[in-house]
Structure 1
Amino acid sequence: MASEEILARVCSVWADVLDLPEVGPDDNFFQLGGRSLTAVQIVRGTLDAFAVSLPVQTVFEAPTPRAFVDRVTAGAEGGGFAGPAARTADTAPLSWQQEWQYRLEQAVSGSNIYSSFVRFELRGPVDRAAFDGAWLDVVERHAVLRTRYRVVGGAVEQVVDGDAHYDLEEHDLSAWDEATRGLQHRKVHEEFTRRGYDLARDAGLRVQLVLLEPDRAQVVVSVHHINFDGWSRDILLAGFVAAYRARLGLGEAPAAPQAQYADFARWQRMRLSEAAEDHLRFWRDAVGPGAPRLCPREESARATYLSARHELALPAESARGLIRLAQEEGTTPFAACLAVFGAVLADRLGVARLPVATITANRTWAATNDVIGMFLTILPVAFELDGRADVREAVRRTGASVVRTMSHQEYPLEHAYLTQEPVATRALVEGLRYGIALHPALRPERELVPGLGLLQLPPRLETGPGDEADEVDPSTFDVTLELRESPDGIVGHLTHQVDAVPHAEAAALVRSFAALATLAQRDPCAVLADLAARARSAADD
């Protein structure tokens, strides 16, 4: 294929993914509004168009179609990024992420700490046969949802059941008065979400259907984290929608993924034996001595896993300013948010450098984009608060640090912790005390079938009395800032372990982040460290 034709097709793929009429050869991915999610979609589109599979970070390293073409050509000549081949087998080893989750689960066996939830509302009459059949179809397509775990010869392996099955719990509250219905809904929701998993016996998928009104129902889906990550939520929902429509004769049943999660687990076990020391050296440099605690505590104190949430909302003007700043500096909105959060932490901790952890989808092999499973891993990003760097320079440096880190995402810290020197790797993991994530916006209500709408909701129904309601949470970090883009700005919440960070300190972090985000986008030529000090002073007043 001629180079001009390759360039034209790359431009077409980028335009389709970014939902633009056209993209020119020298248009910049970031300035076009690119995000981490769209980078993954570009990689998938490249696989479909050229049969070349490239790592996701390629988009960040070559952010124009003209530069990207060179990577496509090199990938075609060299075979691209080799991913796992699809195989058919009833058993497989655990991936390193799964083994980590399995060990964590054994420490709290029977708890709901490691359950993941998807919640949505159905508005209109629900065909119960199609509803049940659609979930069976989803389980049939994704073998990890019918997987159990057993110990054989001292090693844990995953065993795939042949028949699709899941647990369905139904409640009809439509005849109750509004007040009583609300109380009962909270009761059944809490009972459902508090149930733990026996990984050797329980079905991999649970669904609760609560009929609130004759034409309005809420659905909660529960999957253990060993089988499921954040990216899997969209795959699960999209699969259910397609299967429901197909059951009613309104579309074709979706095809099975190119490979199953067990194929990834086998491939990962083989691949991570290569160059492991190089990856581990990078993680050690990124984490360094680790981050100090915000508040001192007795190291011998036993963790309670009690956490609390504090809500956060950046006004639309501040959010747009941060996003625009990221585009101008050739990076993503996530990098801009990380620069602000890192500066808040560094200022309050009195340090110039610290690792800030984020969770990445880790789906570097394009075929995994359609697979439900536990792929995500922790990425420690090295953040530096230079006392002379202005906001633009700090955002640019943070973006570069994110790209460097992403090139090592295939090597999960879980693998280091489970296979390398225990003392050294324990210090590596425990040096990560602060985390951040920026999620894509929730999709607006969509039509499932004519007369039936689907509205995605936050994963958990609010059941506590307010922000400071303590609940059990398995967060790895002392503090986690979770953000989401929305039409009204950037919203989210800060979760903190209450035995590590008091409520007052967590609330001050939220105020500092909001204040610094506003100051930074208003005056991007100011020194970031100076703005962080101003934000702290304002938040503490």
Structure 2
Amino acid sequence: MLGRPPLGRVDRGGWMPASFTQEERLLVGRGIHVPNNSVAIGLHLLGPLDVGALERAVAALVARHEMLRSTFPEDPAGCRIAVTDGRDITLRRLPAFGGVEQALAALAQAAQVPFDLAGGPLFRATLARISDAEHILGLTLDHILVDGLSCQILQRDLLALYDRETGQGPDLSPLDLQFADYATWERAYLRGEPLERLMGHWRNALAGIDAIPASGLTDPDAPAGRTAGLALRKAAIPTDLRDALDRTARAGRVSLFAVLSAALKAVVHGRRRRLRDDDAADVAVLGSLSNRGHRAMKDVVGYFATPTVLRTNLAGDPTLAELATREAQVVFGALCHQEVPHALITRELSPGQYGIRHRFGQADVPRYINFDMAQDWGAALRQPARLRVRTARVPVSEVPRGGLRLIAREKADSLVLEFRYRTDFYGAPWAETFLADYVRLLNLWPTRPSSRLSELGL
């Protein structure tokens, strides 16, 4: 924290100015609205629901978190954020449905209605009734408001506020700071020497590649003429293997994330070698960092997370243990320099790619590969009195950006892999064999950490 301006409460009368200097405009972040860039959260509520208490809890949630009341008015001079009183955000009730699938389909349809960034509101709460003892609550937000951790905070706080409104729980501790305070701090900090120091790391780390690097993976047998769409393949890593991977990671003084990420890069490396790619050993993957270095921000809703490029050199035929160490060093470097937004890195290092992931058919997006590790918070959800709550997937269409995405979801008794691929770039056989190679490598990793990549048949 040395040399950083203090993080404190700012004036709510106009905390984000209507105009910026040229340097400040580069720090604004996403300024292009994607009509279906929506986040949909589903909560399956079983038991006698107090709908009036839920309505009050939603209102209290909106009052608690300023970002739920925020809009982004158009301004020719730059970007401006306004905070409303939130009175136009209420719980919408849908008619009764005959079952869960019908209710989820209706919530998905409601979630597809695009948000007006300038006019708002950018948060909607919709309740679908199945019976007196079964409901599904849908929370839909524009992604500009929230990151993944924010979605978990919203679910936690809403259920706690419902308990409060039914007289079954205490009030939440007030928030000392809001995302606006962080945004103001960030604008003050990311300039001059601090900005130059952070950018210096990324200039070196990404020298010679794009800020949104292409994966180099192609499927020569991909079906021709298919429209852009997403398909999903899943694989479960059982508890004993997950625990063995975790022990192997600790023995090598690295994280499980580093092992899983290194394994992905080893598979990418093998595929690119088969394609006779001269740069097969230079593997760059897009990931995401939480960017919540300030403890005061741990309970705050906002878009803190930032994409990051994790670039690793697999040259020299390293052992699996050596590869995990290299990956851990790359991840550590990214964590130490995560305060500079990826949008700013892209604007400087690859200006032609700035905003490209959100242009939606107006520009060719590189076929990048994305890796993330996430926790399944469904089992840890608060259970209000007389209710049983579990997560429910609202089946909204996902934006088919890039080409490939691997998500490792930590569950209570396993690790579930979700491999998503664009159907206009890759066929199902290619995706299935890629995921199978990845799973096979994870099975080998705990017993063969001293094996070199060339010995693994990738």
Contact 1:338 1:436 in 2 (8 A): yes
Hey, what does 1:504 align to over in structure 2? 429
1:353 equivalenced with 2:282 (yes/no) = yes
**For residues 486 and 333 of structure 1, what CA distance do their matches in structure 2 show?**
14
Higher helix share: 1
Hey, what does 1:454 align to over in structure 2? 389
Contact 1:482 1:493 in 2 (8 A): yes
**For residues 326 and 314 of structure 2, what CA distance do their matches in structure 1 show?**
10
**For residues 139 and 432 of structure 1, what CA distance do their matches in structure 2 show?**
38
RMSD (Å), alpha carbons: 3.0
**For residues 281 and 302 of structure 1, what CA distance do their matches in structure 2 show?**
42
**For residues 522 and 421 of structure 1, what CA distance do their matches in structure 2 show?**
41
Q: 1:147 to 1:365 in 2, by over 3 A?
A: same
**For residues 437 and 492 of structure 1, what CA distance do their matches in structure 2 show?**
10
One-letter amino acid matched to 1:283:
W
One-letter amino acid matched to 2:307:
I
Hey, what does 1:382 align to over in structure 2? 311
Hey, what does 2:417 align to over in structure 1? 492
Q: 1:213 to 1:423 in 2, by over 3 A?
A: closer
Hey, what does 1:249 align to over in structure 2? 167
Hey, what does 2:199 align to over in structure 1? 280
* Greater mean deviation of Cα atoms: 221-230 or 499-508: 499-508
Hey, what does 1:216 align to over in structure 2? 134
Quote the offset at 1:83 in angstroms.
4.8
Contact 2:404 2:421 in 1 (8 A): yes
Contact 2:40 2:139 in 1 (8 A): yes
Hey, what does 2:124 align to over in structure 1? 206
Hey, what does 2:267 align to over in structure 1? 344
Matches within 5 A, 1:55-204: 83-93=6-16, 99-103=28-32, 105=33, 108=34, 111-112=35-36, 114-173=37-96, 176=98, 181-182=99-100, 184-204=102-122
Q: 1:423 to 1:190 in 2, by over 3 A?
A: closer
One-letter amino acid matched to 1:480:
R
1:415 to 328, 333, 344: 344
**For residues 225 and 334 of structure 2, what CA distance do their matches in structure 1 show?**
32
2:176 to 258, 261, 278: 258
**For residues 125 and 363 of structure 1, what CA distance do their matches in structure 2 show?**
37
**For residues 409 and 328 of structure 1, what CA distance do their matches in structure 2 show?**
27
One-letter amino acid matched to 1:157:
R
1:367 equivalenced with 2:296 (yes/no) = yes
1:330 to 241, 253, 264: 253
What do the CA deviations read for 1:488-526 (whole angstroms, capped 9, x no partner)? 321031122333333332222211111111111232221
Quote the offset at 1:450 in angstroms.
2.5
Contact 1:116 1:222 in 2 (8 A): yes
Contact 2:219 2:427 in 1 (8 A): no
**For residues 200 and 491 of structure 1, what CA distance do their matches in structure 2 show?**
38
* Greater mean deviation of Cα atoms: 85-94 or 240-249: 85-94
Contact 1:139 1:165 in 2 (8 A): no
Which consecutive residues of structure 2, in runs of 5 or more, have no partner in the other structure? 18-23, 274-279, 359-364
Which consecutive residues of structure 1, in runs of 5 or more, have no partner in the other structure? 1-53, 55-77, 464-470, 537-541
Contact 1:335 1:399 in 2 (8 A): yes
**For residues 160 and 350 of structure 2, what CA distance do their matches in structure 1 show?**
47
- Of all paired residues, the percent bearing the same amino acid is 22
What do the CA deviations read for 1:338-397 (whole angstroms, capped 9, x no partner)? 010011111111211211121111111111111101111111112222443221221122
What do the CA deviations read for 1:398-449 (whole angstroms, capped 9, x no partner)? 1121111111100112123346772597999977811111112324165533
One-letter amino acid matched to 2:295:
A
- Report the 3-state secondary structure (helix = DSSP H, G, I; strand = E; otherwise coil) of the residue aligned with 1:521: coil
Quote the offset at 1:240 in angstroms.
0.6
**For residues 173 and 379 of structure 2, what CA distance do their matches in structure 1 show?**
25
Hey, what does 1:64 align to over in structure 2? none
Q: 1:281 to 1:478 in 2, by over 3 A?
A: farther
**For residues 294 and 353 of structure 1, what CA distance do their matches in structure 2 show?**
13
**For residues 101 and 302 of structure 1, what CA distance do their matches in structure 2 show?**
31
Hey, what does 1:225 align to over in structure 2? 143
Hey, what does 2:371 align to over in structure 1? 436
Contact 1:100 1:418 in 2 (8 A): no
Aligned length: 432
- TM-score (ref. length: structure 1): 0.73
**For residues 226 and 305 of structure 1, what CA distance do their matches in structure 2 show?**
24
Quote the offset at 1:317 in angstroms.
2.6
Hey, what does 1:520 align to over in structure 2? 445
* Greater mean deviation of Cα atoms: 186-195 or 235-244: 186-195
Contact 2:404 2:419 in 1 (8 A): yes
What do the CA deviations read for 1:91-139 (whole angstroms, capped 9, x no partner)? 4439989943332x1xx4xx22x10122121121111111011111111
One-letter amino acid matched to 2:385:
P
Contact 1:520 1:528 in 2 (8 A): no
Matches within 5 A, 1:25-64: none
Contact 2:147 2:304 in 1 (8 A): yes
Contact 2:122 2:141 in 1 (8 A): yes
**For residues 97 and 374 of structure 1, what CA distance do their matches in structure 2 show?**
17
- TM-score (ref. length: structure 2): 0.85
**For residues 480 and 162 of structure 1, what CA distance do their matches in structure 2 show?**
38
- Report the 3-state secondary structure (helix = DSSP H, G, I; strand = E; otherwise coil) of the residue aligned with 1:438: strand
Quote the offset at 1:315 in angstroms.
2.6
- Report the 3-state secondary structure (helix = DSSP H, G, I; strand = E; otherwise coil) of the residue aligned with 1:444: helix
- Report the 3-state secondary structure (helix = DSSP H, G, I; strand = E; otherwise coil) of the residue aligned with 1:100: coil
One-letter amino acid matched to 2:415:
I
Contact 1:90 1:161 in 2 (8 A): no
Hey, what does 1:295 align to over in structure 2? 218
